[in-house]
Amino acid sequence: MSIELKPIEVEYCRTCPSCLEPLLRVTTQKEEVVTEDGWISDGDTIFGLYGKLVEAGLENEVDTSDHSVWYYQNYDYMLWVGHCPSCENEFFVIDASMIDDRVAVNPWFVESYFHQNLEIPDPTYGLANQGGEQWLVTRHETEMGVSLTHSFGPFAIKDDTLIGPNGVSLCSGELASVDHAATLLLKKWPALKTLARAVNDKP
């Protein structure tokens, strides 16, 4: 089922999955955190998803022993963790960043638009709809084309916690939240890739 992009009409609010208090308010032009405490504290890559994407034939296998290989992939994905300032429960958010797979990306692009570690122009925001589901999309107009970041959640955390002594670490043990994130993105990946091409085919 294809994904339809729509503009945000007035405001889109992301709420705590436990108490439904607002966490983030989003308009077409900006995001605004509701409290001074912020809403996201730390994150990590979604453990195990890459192997599942390769196994399903959705991505090409690369030499993961060479960490620099990730600076030449047309996608990135993360699981972010936060605490609600109202009820103090933990929640997680799933992000998947992607650009048309016909584009040859480079380290500067990945650091800029996927990792957001370099100064870049402000994005715009919209909503994605697919089969009754809706989620937030961040849109960057880049030199290489349109880059989209799809953001799902927040979701309640079923594990005890995802935060250890060194922050969020998702590569140890079986975690229900990580499995949820991997399953969700694996299911949506074909439509996300189709959309990444479609937005760059439009004039």
pTM, to two decimals: 0.92
Contacts of 140 (CB under 8 A, 6+ apart): 113, 120, 121, 123, 146, 147, 148, 149
DSSP label of 111: I
Whether the pLDDT of residue 203 is over 90: the answer is no
Residue-averaged pLDDT of the chain: 91
Under 8 Å between Cβ of 50 and 64? yes
Q: How far apart are CA 180 and CA 189, in angstroms?
A: 14
75-125 confidence digits (pLDDT tens): 999 999 998 999 989 999 999 999 999 999 999 999 999 999 999 999 999
Lowest-pLDDT range, 40-44, 120-124, 128-132, 188-192?
Answer: 40-44
Q: What percent of the chain has pLDDT over 70?
A: 91
Q: Which helix (H) or strand (E) holds 138?
A: strand 133-142
